[in-house]
Amino acid sequence: MEWTGEALLIGVRRHGETSLIAEAMVAGRGRYLGLVRGGRSSKLSPALQAGNTVQLTWRARIEDHLGTFTVELLQARAAELIADRDRLYLSQLVCEHLRLLPERDPHDRLLGKALMLIDNPPDGVELVRFELDLLDELGYGLDLTSCAATGVTSDLSHVSPKTGRAVSRVAAEPYKNRLLPLPSFLAARGNASPDDIAAGLRLTGHFLDKLVWSARRLDPPPTRDLLLQRLLAR
């Protein structure tokens, strides 16, 4: 078995004394793992950094095997990310999010959004939208299109923390203390304030924790809180 494709490296871990197991999001193929022989060498280690785009050739005797990767660097981002702490935290967070996806299941739309986030200045609004798309691709999409109580599609102001459905301002009034605020940029077009971005990340963080991290007994990525603090301090 063999294929070649372009990929975003999202993680590596040591294997033996000289090799690495690389984890990548491959266009048209999804999240793949493979052994890189000699991956800890001075020749290969600069290419094998999370956030780099590479061309991978994967080979295995049987499709279900781990297989081996041959790596060619296409776009090195590691050095510029290290020089920009906000982008570094964002890249690390995006890569951690992509590692939540099932193996060998294509998610090209999400991969494209991940690359857009990594290659541009940190944007809290786009990060919220990315996390909403991640929840959707994991099968936990929120319904923010209409009110769960009345069915109206306008003046949506809150989200049920239990069902992930939007609630209108009128219907939310008696229960506001139990609901999550819906930031205005998700309910309608408009600029986002720091409070809106914070509300958006609290919203997505609540459902990621409830449905993904806690369910899998995972700790939330520490870079998420660090990035949130830096985004709101601007």
Each residue's pLDDT tens digit, 17-34: 899 999 999 999 999 999
pLDDT tens digits for range 74-104 = 999 988 898 999 999 999 999 999 999 999 9
């109206």: which residue's tokens?
152
**What pLDDT does residue 164 have?**
97
Query: Which residue blocks in the chain are alpha helix, DSSP H?
Result: 78-82, 85-98, 108-118, 124-137, 169-172, 184-187, 194-208, 222-232
Average pLDDT over residues 199-213: 97
Q: How confident is the model at residue 193, as a pLDDT?
A: 87
Q: Residue 150 pairs with which residues in a beta bridge?
A: none
The mean of the pLDDT values for the chain is: 94
Any idea what DSSP says for residue 164?
Answer: -
Q: Quickly state the pLDDT bin for 230 (edges 50, 70, 90).
A: confident
Angle between helices 124-137 and 85-98 (to 10 degrees): 10
Answer for the pair 109, 183: CB distance below 8 angstroms, yes or no.
Answer: no
Q: Which string of b and e fits 132-142 if b means at least 16 CB within 10 Å? A: bbbbebbebeb
